[in-house]
Homo-oligomer: A and B are copies of this chain.
Amino acid sequence: MSEVNKTELGQLGEFGLIRHLTDNIKLKHTSTLKGVGDDAAVLDFNNKKTVVTTDLLLEGIHFDLTYTPLKHLGYKAVVVNVSDVYAMNATPKQITVSLGLSSKMSVEALDELYEGIYAACDFYNVDLVGGDTTSSLTGLTISVTALGEGDEDKLCYRSGAKPNDLICVSGDLGAAYMGLQLLERERKIYADNPQMQPDLSGYDYILSRQLKPEARKEVVELLSKIDVVPTSMIDISDGLSSEVMHICAQSKTGCRLYEDKIPIDPSTSMMAEEMGINPIVTALNGGEDYELLFTISQSDYEKFKEVAEANIYIVGHITEESKGNYLVTNADQEVELQAQGWNPIKNND
């Protein structure tokens, strides 16, 4: 068997490395006037509004390279950003990618990371237009900024929900969180006993939701097709509870969610029960689902029914602010929602 190729980053030098990583870029958009290769990229959004969002991913905090394939990591780094653009009811068009690389990383490993980045660029139809590549004394650092365009009268903020609006979710929740719990469990078993092989069979769905999440571009396309503009929208990165509370806080409303309406995949429930976790907690307080949470006025509800592919779940409704934020359980109890979303600052002591 031949040895795996390992080329040190230093062999290419900074500019050689950037060329190596960006030489094959083919720009997709007329809005990209100038991509990689100058002090800045130049974009032309014409009469559309520009949307911009950014995310920072750090090794050991947002990902663990012992179980995250680099290609998936690159893909996910793009997804979490374009998801924010979709959450504005806008269309992502360009990204920039900055990387801090430890010297132990090989060119081949970096190529794998970029394979994932470019795969996501293709799938979400965005141009990579710039970035910064530097060395890191510690772990891998990935900073992605996404730009997109939207029509002013279609942009969705968190602040537009009104009492009696329906609360919608674009897909099932909690799976990514259970995928992470599973990976963590198997990593610990492996650390204690390296002879044990991780047993991940039969868990494909929750693992793929954690390792290869997708942003819900088809939801934004659907909204455009059926001519519905949500009154508010946000992407679910920190759990349903946190996100609906962001909408309620900024819209100055309350909400009622219904436990029996919240979509949870059977494999998520199974894994949660196996680990002694109430499945509804994974949906409310787990994270990284990247589904869209949005509110619509009741009069728009019929439009969704007309389209077969509209896989939208109504999970509750908006109330007056004074009514508070509550979950109505299957036992018909009202439990106050709490923002127990993933708190990266607190968790790191």
Contact = CB atoms under 8 A, between A and B. Distances in A.
Interface of A: 9-10, 12-15, 17, 33-34, 37-47, 49-56, 58-62, 84-85, 87-88, 90, 94, 96, 98-101, 103, 129-139, 141, 143, 145-148, 150, 152, 155, 157-159, 233-235, 250, 339, 341, 343-349
A130 B145 CA distance: 10
Given A14-B346, A145-B145, A348-B103, A235 B61 contact: no
Nearest to A238: B14
B139 A138 contact: yes
A145 B84 contact: no
Given A136-B61, A346-B14, A42 B49 contact: yes
Contact of A135 (B88, B139, B148, B345): B345
A15 B130 contact: no
13 contacts: A13-B346, A41-B51, A43-B51, A44-B152, A46-B47, A50-B50, A52-B130, A56-B99, A56-B100, A58-B134, A61-B135, A101-B345, A138-B138
Contact of A157 (B9, B34, B43, B100): B34
Nearest to A131: B54
Given A46-B47, A138-B138, 16 more contacts: A39-B235, A40-B90, A40-B148, A42-B50, A42-B155, A44-B49, A50-B50, A52-B130, A53-B130, A56-B98, A56-B132, A58-B135, A103-B348, A103-B349, A135-B344, A135-B347
